[in-house]
Amino acid sequence: MTFVRTSVFLLLALLLATPALAGHHDEGPVRQAIVLAAFGTSYPEAVKSILNIKAKVEKAHPGVPVRLAFTSNIIRKIWQERQGDAAWRKANADIPAEILYVKHPLATIADLQNDGYRDVAVQSLHVFAGEEYHDLLTLVGGLRSIRSLKAKYTPFARLVVGRPALGQPGEAYPYVQDMEKAAKVLKGDVEHARKEDAALVYMGHGNDFFSTGIYAEFQKTLRAEYGYPIFIGCVEGYPAFDDMAALLAASGKKKVLLKPFMIVAGDHASNDMAGDEDDSWKVMLEKAGYSVIIDLRGLGMVDGWADLYVDHLADALAQGTGK
């Protein structure tokens, strides 16, 4: 009897020690879902870039629901206002409901959990580990920390985050290697610039208080990869237009291929970059004596760039921590 009691005690101890991440609950197999968290866009035409990435992810994970979420509060508010605008909806009938009713990542993850999905992977569709990605990490980290007294009631069996296109600090996946891979998929842009005998200039979004220098470093990576005059400037933060323009002037090129270094070619690309106002990059470059060629294709429309997110999602799922 002593042996039996001891065996039962040991068995109970092992069961109680089993972590929640092992899926200890009474609801059957853990269901998996994917959330693609993008900054977002208010431009209907630019939505195609995000949907192209989504299609790539769905192909890589057949049978797994893939939801979109926008991290920008301003962008989401615009879509929310359009929901009640019957005239706008009629004129833009091709906009899918998942865009029109897009939510914050927090709400999207909560909806999935409420629908019974406890294994959720959140893939960042940001370019680099800036403000929006930082906030996404802290959000998911908070949700991941939730524990219930009974393991079976813990909201998530697993909750991971995939890194941005240009990577993030850390040893698991050195960001320098991510930048090298990203540089290779932009070969088509460089070939286009060479054909036109034009310098290749990218406009990135940047951030005015969380500037990491990643754009300047990626510019160096691109130039090392192709041996060609390639420049990156930002709408906000460093390197600014003037920083980029000084290097461009030293290149001796008189023609510029101007492209957005953003997932979508939305408001910044259409107005700040390619607009007709005096402070647009196109106008300022033309006033400086350059012939400017505009390419309004967002990075999300480049299949190789979209594949970067597919690969980073696979890494997050394989590692299991998103770090």
Determine whether the annotation assigns residue 236 to a binding site. Answer: yes
For residue 116, what are the CA distances in angstroms to 17, 29, 86, 145? 24, 10, 33, 19
Cβ atoms of 68 and 104 within 8 Å: the answer is no
Judge contact between 90 and 82, C-beta under 8 A: no
Q: Is 149 helix (H, G, I), strand (E, B) or coil?
A: coil
Alpha helices in the chain (DSSP H): 2-17, 47-60, 73-83, 86-91, 97-100, 105-114, 131-144, 175-184, 187-196, 214-226, 241-251, 267, 281-287, 303-319
Q: Which two tokens stand for residue 132?
A: 């929006």
DSSP 247: H
For residue 24, indicate whether it is catalytic: no
171 is in an annotated binding site: no
- Are 35 and 112 in contact by the 8 Å Cβ rule? The answer is yes
Contact 56, 310 (CB under 8 A): yes
Annotated catalytic residue, options 61, 126, 205, 312: 205
Q: Which long-range contacts (CB under 8 A, 24 or more apart) does 103-107 make?
A: 103/69, 103/70, 103/76, 104/69, 104/70, 104/71, 104/73, 104/76, 105/35, 105/37, 105/69, 105/71, 105/136, 105/139, 105/140, 106/139, 106/143, 107/69
Q: Is 268 annotated as a binding residue?
A: yes
- DSSP at 35: E
> 151 with 26: CB under 8 angstroms?
no
Contact (CB, 8 A) for 154 and 236: no
Report helix, strand or coil for 322: coil
Contact predicate 86/56, CB 8 Å: no
Query: What residue numbers does the annotated binding site cover?
Result: 205, 236, 268
Query: What residue numbers does the annotated binding site for Co(2+) cover?
Result: 205, 236, 268
Name the residues annotated as catalytic: 205
